[in-house]
Each structure stands twice: as C-alpha cells, then as structure tokens.
Amino acid sequence: MTMDDGNDFEPTSLVGLWTRLKQRATGHIQSSGFFQETEEEKTERCRDAFLRAAGISKNVFLSRATAGLPHIIKSDIIFTEKTREDRFEVQYSGDGFSDMYTLNFSGRSVGAGHVVNERGDRTTGRHMFALRAIMGICIDFETMGFNASDMMGAFNWAKTGAHIHPSSHFSLTQDMQTRLRTLQGVLPRSEYDHVSKLVREGDVMGIAHLSRPIQDGDILWDEMRRVEDKYAPTHQAYVARGFFVERSITLGQYLLCGLSYDALINLKDTQQLKKVEAYTRINIRETAKRMRANNGPRT
C-alpha cells in the first residue's frame, strides 16, 4: 500500500508491527519504546560491539587488564551509554582492591576511573594504574585521563609530567596561587615572580621540581588541605606517611601536596611514559608491545 507521504509498507497488523520493530532494532539501537532489550541481549550486544571496536574479546582484554594482580574475584566490561557502542566501562575487583575506568573508542582515550587499594601497600595501586596505560597502548589509544589526588597525588603525578586537564586549570592554579601568596615575605622577589609565572601557566612538572626548602615556621599548615576538604592534614600526618623529612618541605611540595586535579597522560609521548614507568616501576611500553605481539588487539 502506498500512503500519501510516499512511504511503502504493509497494512497494519500485529505480525507486521512486530517485524518492523525488530527491523528498527537492527544495528542494536532501540529507538522504539515497544521493544525492550533483555539483559542477555544487552550482554551479547556489548560482547560483539567490544570485539568490533577493540579487535579482542572481552575475556582476553580482562585477563590482560588484570595481569600480575592478586586473585580477581569479579570483572566485566559494560556499556557506559545505552545507545553508544563505542564507549565501555572496565571494572574488576579482588580482595582489598578494585578499579573502574572507561574506554572511549571514538575519542581514542582511557577515561578517568577510580582505583581503590586497601591492601596496605604502595604497589597494587600503581600496578593497576600501569595496566590501564598498557591496555590503552594495546588498543592504540592516544590519551589517558585520571584524577591526581590523595595526600601527595598531585605532587607525585606532577613530577611524572602529567598535564592538567583544561577543566581543572583554573581551580588548581587558584589553589596554588593562594599558597604562594603566603610566601611573599619569604621568597626573594625574582624567585617569587618566576614561581608565580609557573603557577599561572599550569606548569605542574616545573612546580613539582622546585627544591627550595620551606621551613616549618614559614608554612601555613591550614593551607595543606585537600580540595575536597575531607580532612585538614597536619605536618605530623605527612611525616608519619614518610612524605616529609624533619621540619621542612620543598617549595614544590608546599604548592601541590594535598590538592587534586584532573590529569592527562599522552600515551604516544615516550618521555612522559618513561616518567610514568619510573613511578609505577613497571615497563609499560614493553609489556604492551609483548601483549600486542601475542595475538593482541589489532593495530
């Protein structure tokens, strides 16, 4: 039957309606409210979409994304958005540790996630972080985002050369500028102006390497608090964690520790990856190369 709008279709019937609804769902995008995708169908769709996007199965990806970690209790890869088949969330957990991060195949980026390490060591969390970078390189992504936080997170990651995400530039530079102003009568004018320029430009790596010692009497410890304001750490708290020695800290530590920022790492930048490898103590590039050679993701 030919209708006035020029669209040809069969007369309305339950069979015809169901057929058209199934056809509309082809390509796995359900725009009609009449068709409800089951969990099994969604799982199968995610499995197939991930294989198309990554060139590797979900199971193989997860086995490599958790390589070398303690026993994994559960892991999965799911869609981050119902109607997008190019964005996924990787999640896994074990006894006292877990990680969750996103993969954006259209943007070629590993998104910021949430690393949890309650095992009382400094190795498991770094290992999980390194595995994110390894898998990002394996699937030929360009960038990896994360949140540089915790007591010394911003300082430590700044030393690796992790860039400030544009969304964090204003807040982080304002926080650092507030701290710097407390040293106006302490630093020589020329040095103060130089540091102020680094702060305005958001040169966190340059700031992290400022080694001038700041003595206890010149430090306003009330300024040493996280942006999230979860706690106001004291000098003793930092000393107890082994971050500071005796009664002084470096200028770079004073400007950065306790703060947080959304950071970016360029997975194509050899020099930056060298710094990340030094921090995590894992050969990220070599591991990724070995995985790709061993029937890894397509290039």
Judged by DSSP in three states, 132 sits in helix
Positive or negative, the CA dihedral 36, 41, 43, 46 is negative
**For residue 154, what pLDDT is reported?**
87
Contact predicate 253/211, CB 8 Å: no
**For residue 237, what pLDDT is reported?**
66
- Name the E strands within 115-253: 116-117, 143-148, 163-164, 213-215, 248-250
Please write the tens of the pLDDT for every residue from 62-104: 999 999 999 999 999 999 998 899 999 999 999 999 999 999 9
Return the exposure string of 145-183: e unless at least 16 CB atoms fall within 10 Å of the residue's CB, then b: bbbbbbbbbbbbbbbbbbbbbeebbeebbebbeebbeeb
Contact predicate 207/176, CB 8 Å: yes
**CA-CA distance, 69 to 77, in Å (whole number)?**
18
Query: Nearest 10 degrees: CA dihedral of 263, 239, 279, 154?
Result: 10
Residue of 146, 163, 62 lying closest to 111 (CA atoms): 146
Q: Taking each helix axis from N to C terminus, what angle separates 270-280 and 123-138, rounded to the nearest 10 degrees?
A: 150
What's the N-to-C CA distance of the chain in angstroms?
Answer: 49
Could you tell me which residues come within 8 angstroms of residue 280 by beta carbon, excluding any fewer than 6 positions away? 126, 127, 129, 130
Please write the tens of the pLDDT for every residue from 195-239: 999 999 999 999 999 999 887 777 776 666 544 444 445 666 666
**For residue 83, what pLDDT is reported?**
85
**For residue 259, what pLDDT is reported?**
85
For the full predicted model, state whether its pTM sits above 0.85.
no
**For residue 283, what pLDDT is reported?**
96
Give the Cβ contact number of residue 61 at 10 Å: 24
Give the burial class of 263: count Cβ atoms within 10 A of its Cβ; 0-12 exposed, 13-18 middle, 19 or more buried: buried
Instruction: Specify which residues 103 forms β-bridges with.
Output: 88, 110
Contact predicate 212/196, CB 8 Å: no
**CA-CA distance, 125 to 142, in Å (whole number)?**
22
Which residues in the chain come in under a pLDDT of 50?
A: 1-12, 15-34, 226-232, 296-299
Return the exposure string of 5-21: e unless at least 16 CB atoms fall within 10 Å of the residue's CB, then b: eeeeeeeeeeeeeeeee
In 3-state terms, the chain is what percent helix, strand and coil (to 5)? Answer: 45, 15, 40
Q: How far is CA 147 from CA 30, 86, 169, in A?
A: 34, 23, 13
Contact predicate 116/99, CB 8 Å: yes
Positive or negative, the CA dihedral 139, 140, 141, 144 is positive
**For residue 209, what pLDDT is reported?**
94
**For residue 94, what pLDDT is reported?**
97
